[in-house]
Amino acid sequence: MHISFHHLFQKLEKQRQEYVRLAKEFPNEALQIAPRADSWSTAQVLYHLEQVDAQVLKSIEKSLTIVQKLPSASLKTNFRSLLLNVFLRLPLKFKAPPVLGNMPSHVDLEEVLNSWETSRSRLKDLLDQFPPELMHKSMFRHPISGMLTMRQTLTFLHAHAAHHSKQFKATLPTV
C-alpha cells in the first residue's frame, strides 16, 4: 500500500472502530431512537456512513475497469477537493445524495456494522493492490465536488465521518 494511502486508511479505520465501540456500549433498540423528529438516530448515522463507504468503493471498483478513460487530476480537481473538505468541517447540514437511497426507519445495526467492516476490508485490499500509475487519476465522482483522486477520496471519507461525529455523539442514548 502506498504510504500516503496507509496513513489515511489507518485514520479511517481508527474512526470506524471508535464509532463501533461507542455504539456497542448501548442496546440496539436504544440506538434506533432519534433525538428529534427531523434528525437521524444513532443507528441511522452508522447506516449512512456505511452506505457512503460502500458506494464509494463500488464507484472506485467500476473506475478500475475503465482506467484508460479516467481523467488526470487537475488544479480544478484539487480546488474542489479542498472546498469539499473545508465545507465538511463547517457545522452545516447537507442533504444526503439520492444515490444513497431512502433512510430506513429501523436499522439492523449488526448487519450495518458487519457490512461496514466488509467494505473496509475490501477497501484495504483495493489499496494494497492499487496501481501506482493511477495515483494522479480521478477515481471517484463525488455528487457535488466532482472527480477525486484516490488520495482525495480517502481524505473525503475521513472528513465525512468526522463531519458526522458530533451528530453521532448527540444521538447516543444518555445513561
Which residues are CB-neighbours of 8 under 8 A, at least 6 positions away?
Answer: 151, 154, 155, 158
Which residue, chain included where needed, has cell 433512510? 103
pLDDT at 110 over 90: yes
Q: What is the CA radius of gyration of the chain?
A: 16
Domains, in order of start, for the chain? 3-26+39-171 (1.20.120.450)
35 or 126: which leads in pLDDT: 126
Of all helices (H) and strands (E), which one includes residue 149? strand 146-149
Share of the chain above pLDDT 70, in %: 98
Average pLDDT over residues 59-81: 94
According to DSSP, the residues that pair with 138 across neighbouring strands are 149
Share of the chain above pLDDT 90, in %: 78
162 or 92: which leads in pLDDT: 162
Provide the pLDDT for residue 38.
85
